[in-house]
Amino acid sequence: MTNIISREIQLVSRPNGIPTADNFALVQTELEPLQEQQVLVRNLYISVDPYMRGRMNDRKSYVPPFKLGKPLDGGAVGEVIESHAKEFKPGDVVTSNFGWREYFIASPQELHLVNREVQPLSVYLGVLGITGMTAWVGLNLVEVKAGDIIFISGAAGAVGNVAGQLAKLRGCRVIGSAGSLEKVRMLREECGFDVAFNYKTDPILEQLNLAAPDGIDVYFDNVGGETLEAALSALRVHGRIVACGSISGYNDEKPQPGPTNLFNMIAKRLTMKGLIVSDWLDRQSEFEQEVGGYFQAGKLKNQETVVTGIDRAVDAFIGLFDGKNVGKMVVKLN
């Protein structure tokens, strides 16, 4: 086979504030010939995620920063084109962390086989992928149970809508906040949320108090900032917080001061637990069984926004910070 020409997105400069197209380049490369124990994969869908913004800074965190002049990485679903390893054969569908590129070569240990009968295959970046797993882990982390009143921010985003649907399946009363009327409608009518409100139109705490006059038991935090502050006020005694994400601050050059009402942690004996989904990969098969079961039974919807073409991946990524996605933002490769 002649060598494969692949296009990939590289980070060429580190963003200050909101990333711009100039921080990235679409670069053509030629893959090396396939060696023993290697597999050639063509990506079908790639994921763009808010956490990637943190990796664009030159700062140590729980994952290393992206390198300049190198392809970015991230979640992807692809099809095996050629295999020199017995574990995979052409036509197999796999997930990997080799996103932001059209083709790649990997070892079998870097690939995870998925069922190609499950459609659309982008679901492996959404409810059946890391997104769904983050929602599932978050609910387990603070033992969300029937009867709990749970408030979820970023509710119409990838993790938020799954967390809400799973909480409904557990028998909770579910409240969500999102940034447009259309998203609020989707949460109520398609995802079964009991209440959803637009955090941009009226004060968050006012809307939360209207939705839950006696307070909330759990806050699933995807956004931080003012919404976290409102939730701290609305939580009941012994309430729990899942600290999943804080997108409202990801583009800040200087971190914002914390909530002014943090004393609620003490006064109400609250618990706040942080989560990094990759710590939980040993529970992946349990997640796949439970959440895959809900999906196959039609009890869980995969909400997504699909953008087509690797040349639109950067726009799709930047669009996350402007609320351009409903559900999981995925890029379909031609």
Binding site for ligand NDP (CB under 6 A): 49-51, 131, 134, 154, 156-160, 178-180, 183, 222-223, 244-248, 275-277, 320-321, 323, 325, 329
Q: Compare residues 50 and 164 and give the one whose CB is closer to ligand NDP.
A: 50
Between the CA of residue 313 and those of 26, 47, 159, 249, 268, what are the distances in Å? 10, 9, 19, 22, 44
Q: Which residue has the tokens 């939360």?
A: 208
Q: Compare residues 4 and 142 and give the one whose CB is closer to ligand NDP.
A: 142
- Number of Cβ within a 10 Å radius of residue 199: 22
Q: Compare residues 45 and 103 and give the one whose CB is closer to ligand NDP.
A: 45
Question: What is the smallest separation between the CB atom of 29 and ligand NDP, expressed in angstroms?
Answer: 28
Nearest to 41 by CA among 100, 111, 129: 111
Nearest to 284 by CA among 295, 275, 273, 292: 292
Between the CA of residue 259 and those of 64, 82, 211, 240, what are the distances in Å? 28, 53, 22, 16
Question: What is the smallest separation between the CB atom of 51 and ligand NDP, expressed in angstroms?
Answer: 4
Q: What is the DSSP code (8-state) at residue 76?
A: E
Q: What is the number of residues in the chain? A: 334
> Is residue 172 within 8 Å of 199, Cβ to Cβ?
no
Q: Compare residues 173 and 183 and give the one whose CB is closer to ligand NDP.
A: 183
Question: What is the smallest separation between the CB atom of 61 and ligand NDP, expressed in angstroms?
Answer: 11
Q: Compare residues 17 and 33 and give the one whose CB is closer to ligand NDP.
A: 17
Question: What is the smallest separation between the CB atom of 200 and ligand NDP, expressed in angstroms?
Answer: 7
Question: What is the smallest separation between the CB atom of 321 and ligand NDP, expressed in angstroms?
Answer: 5
